[in-house]
Structure 1
Amino acid sequence: MPNEILILVLSLLSIKDAVVTSSVSKRFRFMWKYLQQLNFDFSGPFEITTKSHELYYSEREKYYQQVNSVIRSYNHSKVHFFRINFHLDALECVIDDWLEFAANRKVEILELDLETTDKHHHVSWNYNLPIRFNRMSIGTGQLPYSDFVHLKTLYLKNVNINELALSMFLEISKHLETLSIHRSGNLTNISVRGRELNLKHFEIVECPSVASIYLSDFNLESFTYMGGPIGFTLTGLPNLKNVVMSQGLVALNSNVFRRISSCASSLQALSLKIFHPMVSTSSLCNFLITFITNFQKCNTFLQLLSSSPIKKRRKPIRIAADHPHEHLKIFKILGYYGRISDVELAAYIIDNGNALKKIVIDPRCQVLKGFKAAKKFKKNEEAARSSAQRQLPPLLPPGVELVIL
């Protein structure tokens, strides 16, 4: 097998598996050192690290040794992809050294995934991304952001980054196209602007301290915000095509459309996730009318996510006047339980979506995925699917596809 093919195969593995695989032959023994993708993926289930402190510290020590051993032996001048995937708390200053290694190797894709399954974990315990503005500060325990000039993708999870560090990354990393920040505790007022930015995909997820987001005057293509109610402004973003937002029930009552109305001409996909079991169909339809009025050219899909089913039964009612949408092609309902309100909502879209090509029904529990509480909804999924298969086909006009997941 040519060395190039072997390196390609090894690059598909975690670095631990790549090293083990390389040991099967003397010829392959050090081949892993030529990899440009270093994926330090924790191989065990994260749950075991939360069962006891002794087990956690044992696994953490093994992880340290693995990463440090590879870094000491690595002799390639460049790293394309560098990923740390293990729960490491705020005291782990050794991560600074790992980041400096990645920066010195001109890393292009950097992922710090320090997720934990500990439900008591607080963002104040996260690893804090350090700051250093120039090499005169060497030895202060802060990071030289100027070394990340080649960075194209940055993914941070359970890593605290503040506004100053964020602005430094954006200023120095001229090639940065994708920025994703999950569960960071130090961001409050996020402001990203400037036509010199190359940022195309921006994601803020479950960052509890965020109070406002201001995005302006650059070529952003997709934006995702998942979290509590905040103030936000999206303006001067001519290439924005995809927006995903979750602000709880407030999304129905806020001026969310006005705030992103300047992007209406380019927007193709809008996903609004509404987590509340008591949202009435009339409220949703009024919400949709506002969407239709403001975003006539949003022609890819609109996605709504609802929460738990309402057990109260009632007779069907006429919910809203007709308000045709001439461009909507795909409509997706997540958390469809076969309620009368679900059928009414689907019927409203079917009746008013003049360009509608597909309606997607997902009966799976959306809010409590991965939790024991979600199990009680599992038995309702098949009933919801049966209801959708029985209730919706008679409502469909020719040419509209029904997909039930």
Structure 2
Amino acid sequence: MATPIIISIVGLRLLLHHSLKNSPYCYPQKSEVLFPTSLLSNGSGNSIRRLQLSWCVFSTTIGLDCLKNLTSLSLHDVRITGDELRCLLSNSTALEHLNLTYCSKISCLNIPSHMKRLRCLSLVLCERIQVLLAESLHVKQIELSMESAISYARVKLPSVVPNLERLSICSPCEVLSLFQTVKSFLVLSYVALTLHGAAFSDAYDCFSLVSFLNAAPSLETFVLALSQLRMQLKSIIGDPSPLRQMVGHCHNHLKTVKIIGFCSAKSLVELACYILENAASLDCLTLDTTLGFPRCSANKLVKCLLPMGRDMVVESNKALLAIGEFIEGKVPPAVKLNVLGPCNLCSLFV
């Protein structure tokens, strides 16, 4: 079976088929298909608006005299270096969206100064990317998925993309320092953080995210998703020590906060309490003690589509106890508190 490389163009779809020696189900990085750059030479690519390449090798060190009307570029598992990407984008003055996924050969992303229309940047599992060299005053939205993505974003991004409005981060490994110095995201209004189970350790401190909130004075929406199949953090249940407090900023714009995978971790309870005490404009706080699973019983289903395991249900019940004991009493009258637990069917497994 041939593996396709798809170039998506507004009004035209070009499908190139290349026979591969490997099975079509092999891991895409084994592909050695060389993308024919001649298709993009001599101005032949100037009609392209959207370009998507997957599972191929892109190799050229010569600037291409095309792609002047390109608005969206997506590279998925493409073997391309930072220099080669710069050559590809050498004339892309109209580019608005740049999505890079599994592009492991790019160690440094340099956004050319002529890309003044770039608004959205997505870097997903590009393991070697460490630095954004060029300053881009026009980027409004960034998606990052890599190790230590939160630490990287807090330190590097404010000076690189000062006009950032939306930030989405997925981190499989993170070590956060409570007193880490953070530069300010002056216009950032939306933040979504996703932490996988591997990110958690005894040194992990959810309360350290307070410094992230304090660095975003214009923040309106904050979403935190914790994906851990088994509780690994220190629980507040049975802990006699008082909750930590921090002198924080008055978050006059923060209206919506949602924590998915809320557990009985003491540092997470401290974070929720901090938000309630310092977000004067807060309208709604949602604490979901599941992993965001649909409420099967609410839909009158016979069984759960995604049943929670016994350990997860037990921890969810502990989280509900922690919310009742430490959080509910601190909710101001004007704030709506939504507390979500496992569905009735999931609870039967305990």
TM over 0.5: yes
The sequence identity of aligned pairs, in percent, is: 17
Deviation at 1:160, TM superposition (A): 2.0
> Does 2:229 correspond to 1:325?
no
Greater RCO (Cα-Cα under 8 Å, separation 6 or more):
2
Indicate which of 47, 54, 75 corresponds to 1:106.
47
1:347 and 2:288 matched: no
Cα separation, 2, equivalents of 1:99 and 1:252: 49
Contact 1:322–1:352 (Cα < 8 Å) also in 2: no
> Aligned residue for 2:200?
277
Whole-Å Cα distance in 2 between the matches of residues 337 and 236 of structure 1? 34
CA deviation vs aligned residue, 1:55-101 (integer Å, no higher than 9, x gap): 749xxxxxxxxxxxxxxxxxxxxxxxxxxxx94743223x4379659
Matched, 1:130 2:59: yes
Whether 2:156 is the aligned partner of 1:232: answer yes
Distance between the aligned counterparts of 2:160 and 2:104, measured in 1? 28
Q: Equivalent residue of 1:302, what SS?
A: strand
Partner of 1:152: 71
- The equivalent of 1:250 in structure 2 is 175
In the TM superposition, 1:206-217 aligns within 5 A as 206-217=125-136
Query: How does 1:4-403 map onto structure 2 within 5 Å?
Result: 36=11, 38=13, 56=25, 87=28, 89-93=30-34, 95-96=35-36, 100=40, 104=45, 106-114=47-55, 127-131=56-60, 133=62, 145-194=64-113, 197-229=116-148, 232-235=156-159, 237-246=161-170, 248-252=173-177, 255=180, 257-258=182-183, 261=184, 264-275=185-196, 276-278=199-201, 283-288=205-210, 290-295=211-216, 297-308=217-228, 309-310=231-232, 313-315=237-239, 317-321=242-246, 323-327=248-252, 328-365=254-291, 378-379=309-310, 387-388=319-320, 391=324, 393-403=328-338
Q: Is the contact made by 2:226 and 2:291 (CA closer than 8 Å) also made in structure 1? A: no
Q: Is residue 241–residue 269 contact of structure 1 (8 Å, CA) maintained in 2? A: yes
Q: Relative to structure 1, is the Cα distance of residues 403 and 149 closer, same or farther in structure 2, using a 3 angstrom cutoff?
A: farther
CA distance in 2, matches of 1:292, 1:218: 22
Query: Which structure has the bigger radius of gyration?
Result: 1
Deviation sequence 1:251-270 (CA, Å, 0-9, x none): 43685723xx2xx2222123
Whether the aligned pair in 2 keeps the contact of 1:161 and 1:187 (CA below 8 Å) is yes
Cα gap change, 1:99/1:356 in structure 2, threshold over 3 Å: closer, same or farther? farther
1:338: Cα distance to partner? 4.0
Cα-to-partner distance string for 1:145-204 (whole Å, 9 max, x where unaligned): 323222101111111221112222333111100001011121112222526521111121
Q: State the Cα RMSD in Å.
A: 4.1
In 2, Cα distance between the equivalents of 1:98 and 1:347?
A: 59
- Partner of 1:158, secondary structure, is strand
Partner of 2:86, secondary structure, is helix
State the AA in 1 paired with 2:222: L
Amino acid at match of 2:278: N
2: CA distance between counterparts of 1:88 and 1:279? 35
What SS is found at the alignment partner of 1:225? strand
**How far does residue 335 in structure 1 lie from its aligned partner after superposition?**
2.6
Q: TM-score, normalising length from structure 1?
A: 0.60
Return the offset for 1:219.
Answer: 0.8
Query: Cα distance, 1:133 vs. partner?
Result: 2.6
Normalized per residue, which structure has more helix?
1
**Cα separation, 1, equivalents of 2:286 and 2:69:** 40
DSSP 3-state at the match of 2:132:
strand
Q: Does the C-alpha gap of structure 1 residues 88 and 228 become closer, same or farther in structure 2, counting only changes over 3 Å? A: closer
CA distance in 2, matches of 1:353, 1:318: 18
**Structure 1 counterpart of 2:117, which letter?**
N
Residues 283-310 of structure 1: CA deviation (Å, up to 9, x unaligned): 433540x335433x23312333445323
Distance in 2 between residues matched to 1:133 and 1:55, nearest whole Å? 32
In structure 2, distance between residues paired with 1:192 and 1:55:
34
Structure 2 counterpart of 1:400, one-letter code: V
For the structure 1 residues 268 and 294, does the alpha-carbon distance in structure 2 shift closer, same or farther, using more than 3 Å as the test?
A: same
- Cα distance between partner residues in 1 of 2:330 and 2:203: 21
How many residues get paired? 298
Query: Deviation at 1:108?
Result: 1.0
Displacement of 1:235 in angstroms is 2.4
Other structure's SS at 1:347 match: helix
- Provide the rounded CA distance (Å) in 2 between the counterparts of 1:37 and 1:379: 51
- Specify whether residues 128 and 277 from structure 1 end up closer, same or farther in structure 2 by C-alpha distance, changes over 3 A only: same
